[in-house]
Amino acid sequence: MFRLYKENKGDNENMIPHKEKSKLAGESIPIKSGGTYLVEDWWDKLVEDSWKHMKGNPACIIYALRVAILKLPDDDEVLYGHTEDGLGHLIHVSEVDNLDNLKVL
C-alpha cells in the first residue's frame, strides 16, 4: 500500500535507520497531546524509506506540517500507528507521553 507513494524505488537499505521492529509495536501508548496511540512500527521500517521522501502521502504531508509548526525533530525517529479516530498518523518519539516508563525503543 505505502509503496505507491515512494518517490525513489531504488535500494534504500543503507538509509533505513530502523532495521528491527520497534519494541512499542502493537502497544497502545499515551501521547502528550492526549489520548492513546496504537503503534504499528517505525515508519521507515514499514515502507523502507524516510517520511521525507513520501511525496503525496497524506500522513507524511500532515506530519511534515506538524514538524514545522511544532518544531519537532527533523529525523527518522518516527512511528506509524493509529489514534483513537482510527486514522493512520505519524508521530515522533518525543510526542510519546511518559516514554521513560514504556518499553525501550
Q: Is 105 helix (H, G, I), strand (E, B) or coil?
A: coil
**pLDDT-flagged residues of the chain (< 70):** 1-16, 103-105
CA 81 to each of CA 10, 11, 14: distance values in angstroms, whole numbers, following the listed order: 25, 25, 24
Secondary structure, 3-state, 17-76: CCCCCCCCCCCEEEECCCCEEEEEEEHHHHHCCCHHHCCCCHHHHHHHHHHHHHCCCCCC
**Given this model, what pLDDT does residue 17 score?**
78
**Given this model, what pLDDT does residue 103 score?**
59
Phi, psi of 89 (to 5 degrees): -140, 155
